[in-house]
Structure 1
Amino acid sequence: MKAGKKMVEKPTDENASQPVTTNHPSAKEKMLRGSAWMTAGSVFSRILGAIYIIPWYTWLGKDSLAGNALYTKGYTLYSVFLMISIAGIPSAVAKQVAHYNAQNEYAVGQRLFKKSLLVMLAFGVIGATVMWLIAPLSFISLGEKDVIPVFRSLAVALIVIPVMSLTRGFFQGYQDMFPSALSQLIEQLVRIIYMLVTMYLIMQILHGNYQLAIIHSTLAAFVGALGGLSILIWYYWRKHAELRALALQSAGKLQVKDSKIIYDMLAQSVPFVLIGASTTLYNQLDYFTFKPTLTRFSNDSLRTINDLYAIFAGNDNKLIMIIVALASAMAATAVPLLSAAYTKKDQQGVADQIADALELFMIIMLPCSLGMAAVAKPLYIVFYQYNFTGIFVLSFSAYIALPIGLFIVLSSLLQGIYQNKRAVQYFLVGFLIKLLVQVPLTICLKAFGPLLATGIGLMVSNILMLRYFYFACHLDLNRLLGRFNQILIFSLLTFLVALVVIFIASQMLDLEFRLISFVVLVLAAGLGAFVYLYCCLKSRLADQVIGRRVAGLRKILHIK
């Protein structure tokens, strides 16, 4: 809050508080357009990240669950280092750049970007070195030698990814989400190509061991990062003249030292790091508690425990992260817009943007979450293979995606109005709740336990944040509850339609065959999506949340 206030008070000239250009789209239109790009990039990259599992999992053969467990363990530690290195950077840089741009101080924002590049490169090198060195330690590897080379192959990617994330945040500060979306997509595409090529060569051509194949699958993170960074460099080169023109037109009234710029960026990024790493820390707690808890309090074999971990932390997590990516896209778009409104002291604009972001979250996430729960059986079989436990855990995980996604959006909105400390406090309260219920729930519910503990912890944080927005920002709860009720009814109808299709198909067909499951999945998801879309368009709910542009879609579908 202090950092936000200090910056807001400096520019007082009316012209200095306005952007250079005129006739901007409204804040809501910017959020929708930005969310569309970020959603497209995030969702397509997540879908690619799920689709590759089909051949990747198949080529592992009898070692599929063991290989996936090793892969998941490697990424669990890597995710912590990744979040520490980059989690706060895109949002923090986007927030600061938008803050300066709102004051017509484009040159300051561009200087922030250039000075921060070296800082992020240093962070990356330090993070990579530390992860490489601690990989053999017993409390990190849990006594499993196979994970050590996996950790080290992932460490290399930490050198490149912080610079890539910083560049994405810079463009997001201009509400230009296209380069971030495109680089995400290219990064994922290059990564997957490398993973599949090496997996096929090692397992199918050379008949090697699955451990070597997993090492190359994790090394693909570095290869993909190079691809994503290349796109950003190309886009920056294309935009260089335009950025230079904006810098030359800057008001030049805000005198900020380089050290102050970097300090403010890092200070703003620390809460984003903690919040961005929240779901990773939740997963990390699962990693360190699940195996020891069941080893001590159950009669399950080590292989069974590892298989259960692979199911809920690996297989199902990859699928639910497709819909959680929707929330991340909305959050990335909302933060710079909210920061700009806050900088201009537009209280009504702040309240409206918070409400708009929550409505957009509800209209997208509710049907996606309930829909995934309904089609869990064919979905799991298509991506993996028939597994009774895996199917039911995926269905339960789909519900948990809602509090995860809501937390990402709410915490980002809270930081967008410079309530960084409060966001961290609410996260810590929720994490403490998860810590308290984690072991008892794991003993009682096994693979379902950590998921339920995550849902409980995040919902506590979500309630605290919603309460703050209601009292501090005068959030219109009546408006939100009215929209929520409509969206919930339509989402439940979608859920029932998809569930009925799955039930009828399972009575007539053997869904254990992947091709049959795929056809049933497309039919159930397609019919459910059509019902939801029809209801939203017919009731004019889509117009209220998304805007008048959906009227064209209503004409195409002949809905009056």
Structure 2
Amino acid sequence: MTKHSFVKGAVILTMAGLSVRLMGAVFRVVLAMLISDEGVGLFQMAYPVYSTLLAISTAGIPIAISKLVAENLARDDYHGAYRIFRVALVILALFGLVISAVLFFGAGFFARTVGQDPRAALALAAISPAIFLVTVLSAYRGFFQGQQQMMPTALSQIAEQFGRVFVALLLVVVLLPRGLEQAAAGASFGAAAGALAGLLVLLLIWGKQKPSFMEGLRRQRKGNKAPFSTIIYQILTLSVPITLGSLVLPLITIVDLSIVPQRLHSAGFDTSRSTALYGQLTGMAGPLVHIPTIITVALAISLVPAISEAVALKRIRQIQDRSYLAVRMTLLLGLPAALGLYLLAEPITVLLFQNAEAGAALATMSLGVVFLTLFQTTSGILQGLGRPMEPVKSLIYGALVKTALTWNLTANAAFHIRGAALATVIGFGLAAVLNVYRVHILTGMPLYAVNTIVKPLAASGGMGAAVVFVYRRLENLHILIGPTKANALATLASIATGILVYVLILFIIGGIKRQDLEAIPRVGPKLAEIAKKLFLLRG
């Protein structure tokens, strides 16, 4: 694996992630228009429970599959790699089936005790089949990723999201006349339909690749003869710590679901209003804040085998270089994204959701973009180093702080839903700082503050000034074309201008280098040559 090849894998997954998030954004906008804040709140109440049970059923096994398959293939042991995949597939299928049944038959219980709104029971039952399908799907993704093939995962992600959005919106339209409960359930069932679509794509790809893979097995005389019990032990040893980490995030959302509406009641809001505010936070602001994580999730997936390879070969400098590059890329993305969301919070929520009030939650929560993306990237590094418990510890500390702050701030009428958003920012801030510290201690990764922090901050400052200038000028067009069109034009033009200004400033101050462009698959070298001819690259 070359120095930047893990970046190429991340770019492939990022492009798929962008497509997925674009479809998701359209889905959120249309869903909010169809079923209102309260309906979105009912729909969102199914996801914390679903995410937690999904984390239990997958149990970090896909990452373990990727790591173990990669290690076996590095030793040219195709028998061992295939054996690991088959054992893991059986484990995941069984876990997924059991957990799906638990959610389906316990939907009413979870709706009453966790969501504190019995109307969410149908949505929980409708989403339950998705757990089984996603667990099987994740086994195949881990197998392909262990072979350093990111394209199958990317294609399956696109198919999964398309199936989810299409079926969910279709069912919402059909079921809405029967009430919000059934409409929210229809939206939830889209997750199961999407998972089935993604699984079918992977099965088709595997069907085409299987003959050549099996031919490789036949040519190989010796392979991994470890018994199933040993393989299961290896998988669980790697996956259990990752499971704990993957459980923390959905558990945080369950805690929020349990205490945010309750504390909003304490702040003076009734049930309907509390559900609407919760919908603004989790169904509108939350998804927008998570858009930049498309790249960092892709980075983390690619980093695990890349760092593991360097560790196995005892290449300390390579570990440091790859870790530094990943952190630098994260801050190059996170800093401007956070500032942009902060400055355009209300215009964006008006544009996407016709809801100006949700802008307050987005503005507060946007500050956490830097911390959330940095936490994800450094978690991938730590998992690749064989230290999967480190991110878990960091996140637990952050979650404890967040929960305490959520309880106190949300009940304060001066903060209410913004208090929950601020608590999230502070919690992830602590987790990210702890992760970065552990990576630095374990790897000796250089920080190079000028390149990782100062230059992105300087470019972000220039970007912010340009965004504010353009928005204020174009917003005045409301006199001629009306407030809705003026806001849409001003927001989109501001975003486009901000991106352009940010990139140009980075080039001018040396924040983007030739090797950064060349790491982009296929078009990278051409982009580097174009930038060179335009005198945007130094040297």
TM-score by length of 2: 0.92
Q: 1:41 to 1:278 in 2, by over 3 A?
A: farther
Q: Which residue of 2 aligns with 1:418?
A: 386
What is the identity percentage for the equivalent residue pairs of Structure 1 and Structure 2? 23
Q: Does 1:106 align with 2:82?
A: no
| 64, 68, 76: which one aligns with 1:96 | 68
Q: Does 1:283 align with 2:258?
A: no
For residue 173 of structure 1, report the CA deviation from its aligned partner: 1.3
Deviations 1:421-479 (A, max 9, x none): 333222222222223322112223211222222222222222222222222211112x2
1:468-547 counterparts in 2 under 5 A? 468-477=438-447, 479-509=448-478, 513-543=483-513, 546-547=516-517
CA contact (8 A) 1:102 1:344 kept: no
Deviations 1:163-189 (A, max 9, x none): 101111111112211111111111001
CA contact (8 A) 1:107 1:248 kept: no
Within 2, Cα distance between the matches of 1:434 and 1:201? Answer: 39
CA contact (8 A) 2:114 2:258 kept: no
For residue 250 of structure 1, report the CA deviation from its aligned partner: 5.8
Q: 1:398 to 1:105 in 2, by over 3 A?
A: same
Deviations 1:280-332 (A, max 9, x none): 2222221111112222x322222221111111111111222222222111111
Q: Which residue of 1 aligns with 2:3?
A: 27
Q: Which amino acid aligns with 2:380?
A: S
| 359, 368, 371: which one aligns with 1:403 | 371
Within 2, Cα distance between the matches of 1:253 and 1:73? Answer: 47
Within 2, Cα distance between the matches of 1:235 and 1:75? Answer: 29
For residue 194 of structure 1, report the CA deviation from its aligned partner: 0.9
1:309-320 counterparts in 2 under 5 A? 309-320=278-289
CA contact (8 A) 1:373 1:399 kept: yes
Q: Which amino acid aligns with 2:162?
A: L
Within 1, Cα distance between the matches of 2:434 and 2:312? Answer: 24
For residue 251 of structure 1, report the CA deviation from its aligned partner: 8.6
Q: Does 1:458 align with 2:434?
A: no
Q: Does 1:364 align with 2:333?
A: yes
Q: 1:318 to 1:461 in 2, by over 3 A?
A: closer
Q: 1:556 to 1:366 in 2, by over 3 A?
A: farther
For residue 143 of structure 1, report the CA deviation from its aligned partner: 4.5
Q: Which amino acid aligns with 2:459?
A: F
Q: Give the 3-state SS of the residue equivalent to 1:136 in structure 2.
A: helix
CA contact (8 A) 1:290 1:309 kept: yes
CA contact (8 A) 2:378 2:439 kept: no
CA contact (8 A) 2:11 2:295 kept: no
Q: Which amino acid aligns with 1:525?
A: I
Q: Give the 3-state SS of the residue equivalent to 1:104 in structure 2.
A: coil
Within 2, Cα distance between the matches of 1:224 and 1:168? Answer: 15
Q: Give the 3-state SS of the residue equivalent to 1:191 in structure 2.
A: helix
Q: Which residue of 2 aligns with 1:301?
A: 270
**Gaps in structure 1 of 5+ consecutive residues:** 1-24
For residue 75 of structure 1, report the CA deviation from its aligned partner: 1.3
| 198, 207, 224: which one aligns with 1:228 | 198
For residue 372 of structure 1, report the CA deviation from its aligned partner: 2.4
Q: Does 1:190 align with 2:178?
A: no
| 6, 22, 28: which one aligns with 1:53 | 28
Within 2, Cα distance between the matches of 1:151 and 1:134? Answer: 9
Q: Which residue of 1 aligns with 2:127?
A: 154
Q: 1:425 to 1:246 in 2, by over 3 A?
A: farther
Within 1, Cα distance between the matches of 2:66 and 2:486? Answer: 45
Q: 1:93 to 1:218 in 2, by over 3 A?
A: same
Q: Which residue of 1 aligns with 2:185?
A: 215
For residue 119 of structure 1, report the CA deviation from its aligned partner: 0.9
| 169, 173, 186: which one aligns with 1:200 | 173
Q: Which residue of 1 aligns with 2:147?
A: 174
Within 2, Cα distance between the matches of 1:252 and 1:514? Answer: 68
CA contact (8 A) 1:135 1:141 kept: no
| 1, 6, 13: which one aligns with 1:38 | 13
CA RMSD in angstroms, aligned pairs only: 2.3
Within 1, Cα distance between the matches of 2:300 and 2:128? Answer: 27
For residue 557 of structure 1, report the CA deviation from its aligned partner: 5.8
Q: 1:125 to 1:457 in 2, by over 3 A?
A: same
For residue 512 of structure 1, report the CA deviation from its aligned partner: 8.0
CA contact (8 A) 1:279 1:404 kept: no
Q: Give the 3-state SS of the residue equivalent to 1:146 in structure 2.
A: helix
For residue 128 of structure 1, report the CA deviation from its aligned partner: 0.7
Q: Does 1:554 align with 2:531?
A: yes
Q: 1:553 to 1:285 in 2, by over 3 A?
A: farther
Q: 1:556 to 1:154 in 2, by over 3 A?
A: farther
Within 1, Cα distance between the matches of 2:306 and 2:217? Answer: 20
CA contact (8 A) 1:275 1:411 kept: no
Q: Which amino acid aligns with 2:197?
A: G
Q: Which residue of 2 aligns with 1:427?
A: 395
| 316, 327, 337: which one aligns with 2:296 | 327
For residue 545 of structure 1, report the CA deviation from its aligned partner: 6.3
Q: Give the 3-state SS of the residue equivalent to 2:268 in structure 1.
A: coil
For residue 33 of structure 1, report the CA deviation from its aligned partner: 0.9
Within 2, Cα distance between the matches of 1:300 and 1:77? Answer: 24
Q: Which residue of 2 aligns with 1:12?
A: none
Mean CA deviation greater in 479-488 or 158-167: 479-488
Q: Give the 3-state SS of the residue equivalent to 2:367 in structure 1.
A: helix
Within 1, Cα distance between the matches of 2:89 and 2:69? Answer: 14
Q: 1:242 to 1:520 in 2, by over 3 A?
A: farther
CA contact (8 A) 2:259 2:407 kept: yes
CA contact (8 A) 2:31 2:40 kept: no
Deviations 1:351-370 (A, max 9, x none): 21111111121222222232
Within 2, Cα distance between the matches of 1:194 and 1:553? Answer: 43
| 208, 213, 224: which one aligns with 1:238 | 208
CA contact (8 A) 2:365 2:425 kept: no
1:245-264 counterparts in 2 under 5 A? 245-247=215-217, 252=222, 255-264=225-234
Q: 1:107 to 1:339 in 2, by over 3 A?
A: same
Q: Does 1:292 align with 2:262?
A: yes
For residue 413 of structure 1, report the CA deviation from its aligned partner: 1.3
Q: Give the 3-state SS of the residue equivalent to 1:418 in structure 2.
A: coil
Deviations 1:90-110 (A, max 9, x none): 322212222222233232122
Within 1, Cα distance between the matches of 2:474 and 2:249? Answer: 36
Q: Give the 3-state SS of the residue equivalent to 1:299 in structure 2.
A: coil
Q: 1:245 to 1:495 in 2, by over 3 A?
A: farther
Q: Which residue of 2 aligns with 1:22?
A: none
CA contact (8 A) 2:477 2:486 kept: no
Q: 1:496 to 1:275 in 2, by over 3 A?
A: farther
Within 2, Cα distance between the matches of 1:481 and 1:233? Answer: 47
Deviations 1:199-238 (A, max 9, x none): 22334xxx33222111111011111111000111111122
